[in-house]
Structure 1
């Protein structure tokens, strides 16, 4: 019994020492070699808050995301934040217990969308890909793919190009850092 306890104690001690020495956090699938100051700057960049009547490329993307999550039904997503979008965002907020439910794209809603999107990468086929592709094209990184929902090699290259433009270690995977860089206030800055 003592040898097992010793191994457990040793493993726990090593893990504790690594944390105390500032070991790197687990990779966010946004390129493991992204400099910490770049990650910090992106995470501090505020989300763009949008409400009914606003017009923005982000509205189209969120429309596709909410289609994937089953709450935006009917019309094709477009630039204008319509009453249908307000209803869908409100439903998403209710489904995810985001209080208050405003129907607006606010900080908490963006954070939940980022978390629910997870990692999007080559081989994926979903409405998430369609929303991300639309955004990449708007941001000047067109993938020239012919299928909207499929994440192929051209989209992977577009993601890498975007990541490089933001100082993110380019791995071609959209994770939480790349997602925030695509939708926060500085997204359109090169």
Structure 2
């Protein structure tokens, strides 16, 4: 039986594992693959909006759609008003993710909502798509229908939005585009 060099074998296995991990990286990392580091840093430095009971804006509707998709909010047709039902949904989400249970959508809650989001792109049909469509329509005035179907018009609007804010244009809503949509993109 040939003698095996254990340190070399371990190093080779680790290298193979790392290489496989990079080539098999989740597609969510593809969001804006050609985005300059300075743009990513600028977007990541933006403050998340803190939403609380009584607030009315497109970010509230965005959160409503996501919490519905995640199973915490029973209303499939959000209104964009932070009601007591949304306070309860936020608390359920926060409790499930071991966050401070405030009932507000704060920075920690947004971060975990974004981490849970993953990505959406052509062919997706979810409440997450409705969140994107509603943000593009109501927050950035794109003429698209909020139907939950990520088709050519939604992809075109996402690509246009990415171009405007300096994100590498790929038509996929992942973590970078998500944050730009919520925190103000243009």
- TM-score, normalised to structure 2, is 0.84
- Equivalent residues in 2 for 1:55-66, closer than 5 Å: 55-66=56-67
Tell me if 1:120 matches 2:98. Answer: no
Unaligned runs of 5+ in 2: 19-24
Alignment-derived partner of residue 30 in structure 2: 29
Against the structure 1 CA distance between its residues 150 and 143, is the aligned structure 2 distance closer, same or farther, given a 3 Å change threshold?
Answer: farther
Tell me if 1:182 matches 2:181. Answer: yes
- TM-score, normalised to structure 1, is 0.83
Against the structure 1 CA distance between its residues 75 and 39, is the aligned structure 2 distance closer, same or farther, given a 3 Å change threshold?
Answer: closer
Residue of 8, 11, 17 corresponding to 1:9: 11
Any idea what the Cα deviations from partners look like across 1:98-139, whole Å, max 9, x if unmatched?
A: 1x2000000110001101111111111111111111001123
Against the structure 1 CA distance between its residues 4 and 180, is the aligned structure 2 distance closer, same or farther, given a 3 Å change threshold?
Answer: same
- Equivalent residues in 2 for 1:63-74, closer than 5 Å: 63-74=64-75
Alignment-derived partner of residue 137 in structure 1: 137
- Equivalent residues in 2 for 1:98-177, closer than 5 Å: 98=99, 100-140=100-140, 142=142, 144-145=144-145, 148-177=147-176
Tell me if 1:46 matches 2:38. Answer: no
Aligned residues: 177
Partners of 2:42 and 2:129 in 1: how far apart?
25
The Cα of 1:40 is off from its aligned counterpart by: 0.5
Partners of 2:9 and 2:161 in 1: how far apart?
45
Counterpart of 1:49 in 2: which secondary structure?
coil
CA contact (8 A) 1:89 1:104 kept: yes
The Cα of 1:158 is off from its aligned counterpart by: 0.7
Unaligned runs of 5+ in 1: 17-24
